[in-house]
Structure 1
Amino acid sequence: MMDIRALHYFRTVAEFGSYSRGAEFLRISQPAVSRQIRKLEEDLGRPLFRRTGHGVALTEAGEMLRERAQTLFRGLEQARAEIRSGRRGLSGTIALAIPSGAGQWLLPPLVARFRALHPEVSLRVFGGFSGTLHEWLVRGRADIACVHDPLPQRGFRILPLAEEEVCLVGRPGSAALRRGHVRPADLARLPLILSSRANASRRLLDAWLEGTAPPETRIEVDDHAMLRALLRSGTGFAMLTRGGFAAEAARQELAGVPFRPRVTWTLSLVTAEEPARPDIVEPLIATMRAVTEELAAGGWPVRALAHDQTNGA
């Protein structure tokens, strides 16, 4: 039987990508960490890490074990919360992965309302680009992922939440924005800042530019704060939802123009068809829908969608 302590050490090294940094975080010696992980590898008969120039990376077997370990530890955390609360019911922890643009609108009222309704449930929130968020869901790090235009996947269900308009965003006064709109063909001549991972903007751009010359410059950035810093500096342009840059537009730090013809992304909730804790997942989904409808009527530039659902193919 696998040692829970060894799995904890393994998960920490995987997160930091380094035995030394993992050991420092755990406040134990590196040889002790190495011994525990070596025992895991001997038990499984497969290496879990491979050396890189900057530390270690997971092997295919390591990736599989991390996914299972995430599920195990989250189940243990939820059991602990239920036992400490002295009752079963809506208690435990639920993890939500959400893009920063949507999160700026949704999270404050969502957290306030959900905590008021279910005070024994702890929310864990992850932010990032849609491709990364969906990957976290598949790996078991998140219970619900809020992503743009997700692709159907067996074992997961897609619940449309809202429709958002897409704009080309850059520094105010940029020549590319002066016409008041932009066409997809114009992007081939612009320096673009994109996520390195597959997400809605990358799929859309690849479809538009198929068979044409690549963009003038393509900068890949996987951090929303750095992306916005580059946009403010005039380094390039990005495709963002109208709500995703509304705060910077109000401060005149960024500006955006719509596409012609109009382009929209569907913001959807994705969760497993059989989630580990449906008693928590379903109430959170219901709360997110209610909050989205209220925000759409009160300032968030989206169109709330009906409560239909699509299952993975």
Structure 2
Amino acid sequence: MERRQLEYFVAIVEHGGFTHAARILRVAQPSLSRSIGKLERELGVPLFHRVGRNAVLSTAGELMADRARQVLRDMDSLRAAAQTIGTGAVGRVDVAATPSSTLEPVTSAIARLRAEHPGVTVSTWSALSAAEVIATVLRGRCEAGVCGNAERPASQGLISHYLREEDFLLVAPPGTAIGVDGTITPEDLRGMNFVVPQSATAVRARFDRLAATVGDLHIAAEVGDRSVVLPMVLRGIGAGLMPDGWEYLARRAGAEIYRFTPPERLPQWLIHRTGPLTPAARAFVETTLEIHTEKSNLPAG
């Protein structure tokens, strides 16, 4: 079994078929097909069912997909470990994160890694929810993940580190005046219009809970891409609930920012699979935890 065969197999799985994989890999499709055929003969099982012009993973293929990714990571880890001698961590780490977690703490971790471990490249994988982050890490698509989740992510083969309590903010159109001294209570939201993400996200769950408690909250727009919430707020379509990772960008853009009394919070977690990490992943995890420790030791206020 050759590394190239595993790379071809994973590419077919991730890009949805032989044609797209061949284009991404820049190899001729017949060559790709021959390589997978040889791999199937070596394993003694079909990895794909050919249905017309499409290729569908077989049961054996489904079982092998995660293992193939892990084998490739282990190979990269061995290579990177040899390269780290005298040079520091090198390599690439794939990190799954929700949009707010990408803003903070992933951005801070990348900034520090660039200064302390310039040989490490962080590739972020956007996820819509904490559940998607967890599933992506468990499948081996990413080595680490950062997300907000009310309960500690618990699963066999998964390690989770508590980072902080992520504050939810009310981000309102410019000129909005409510509450007292930059703080609001849930009752202050009554009668307001909102731009909300679609279901299955922590932000939407918080909005639905507030709507059920307060009543008279109106959805002006429901979006699938949370990156458009802030532009819609700035256009006056409605207010939005946003984790505090968005605060800097929202203030710079001119939105009004309010904190809740009592606070609306969600625990934020750093997760990775059990077992050895690649040097790049280990550097990312250690750096993220260092930043968390430094911020926790800052004096209040």
TM surpasses 0.5: yes
- Overall identity of the aligned pairs, in %: 21
- The verdict on how the C-alpha distance between 1:20 and 1:241 changes in structure 2, with shifts beyond 3 A counting, is same
Q: CA deviation at 1:298?
A: 7.7
Q: CA deviation at 1:262?
A: 2.1
Query: What residue is the counterpart of 2:29 in the other structure?
Result: 30
Q: CA deviation at 1:264?
A: 0.8
- Give the unaligned 5+ runs of structure 1: 304-313
SS at match of 1:246: helix
Report if the CA contact (8 A) 2:95-2:122 is conserved. Answer: yes
- The verdict on how the C-alpha distance between 1:108 and 1:192 changes in structure 2, with shifts beyond 3 A counting, is closer
Report if the CA contact (8 A) 2:172-2:240 is conserved. Answer: yes
SS at match of 2:234: helix
- The verdict on how the C-alpha distance between 1:113 and 1:27 changes in structure 2, with shifts beyond 3 A counting, is closer
| 1:11-26 matched pairs, under 5 angstroms | 11-26=10-25
| 1:221 counterpart = 2:219 | no
| 1:183 counterpart = 2:181 | no
- Give the unaligned 5+ runs of structure 2: none
Cα distance per residue 1:205-252 (max 9 Å; x no partner): 455567999964662424x53443344344454321223232221330
Query: What residue is the counterpart of 2:146 in the other structure?
Result: 146
Query: What residue is the counterpart of 1:124 in the other structure?
Result: 122
Query: What residue is the counterpart of 1:275 in the other structure?
Result: 275
SS at match of 1:28: coil
Query: What residue is the counterpart of 1:307 in the other structure?
Result: none
Query: What residue is the counterpart of 2:196 in the other structure?
Result: 193
Report if the CA contact (8 A) 2:80-2:278 is conserved. Answer: no
SS at match of 2:246: helix
Report if the CA contact (8 A) 1:167-1:239 is conserved. Answer: yes
SS at match of 2:72: helix
Q: CA deviation at 1:98?
A: 3.8
Report if the CA contact (8 A) 2:19-2:29 is conserved. Answer: yes
Cα distance per residue 1:119-174 (max 9 Å; x no partner): 66x24231534433333211213222121126432222322112221023343246
Q: CA RMSD in A?
A: 4.4
Deviates most, 231-240 or 203-212: 203-212
Rounded Cα–Cα distance in structure 2 between residues aligned with 1:275 and 1:22: 29
Q: CA deviation at 1:186?
A: 5.3
SS at match of 1:71: helix
TM normalised by structure 2 equals 0.71
Rounded Cα–Cα distance in structure 2 between residues aligned with 1:78 and 1:150: 33
Report if the CA contact (8 A) 1:188-1:215 is conserved. Answer: yes
Rounded Cα–Cα distance in structure 1 between residues aligned with 2:50 and 2:190: 41
- The verdict on how the C-alpha distance between 1:296 and 1:12 changes in structure 2, with shifts beyond 3 A counting, is same
Report if the CA contact (8 A) 2:81-2:279 is conserved. Answer: no
- Report the count of equivalent residues: 291
| 1:1-313 matched pairs, under 5 angstroms | 4-37=3-36, 43-45=44-46, 47=48, 62-84=61-83, 92-107=91-106, 110-111=109-110, 113-114=112-113, 117-118=116-117, 122-128=120-126, 129-131=128-130, 132-149=132-149, 151=151, 152-155=153-156, 156-173=158-175, 178-179=178-179, 181=184, 183=186, 190-195=193-198, 198-205=200-207, 207=209, 216=219, 219-222=222-225, 224-252=226-254, 254-272=255-273, 274-277=274-277, 284-294=284-294
Report if the CA contact (8 A) 1:193-1:236 is conserved. Answer: no
Report if the CA contact (8 A) 1:188-1:216 is conserved. Answer: no
TM normalised by structure 1 equals 0.69
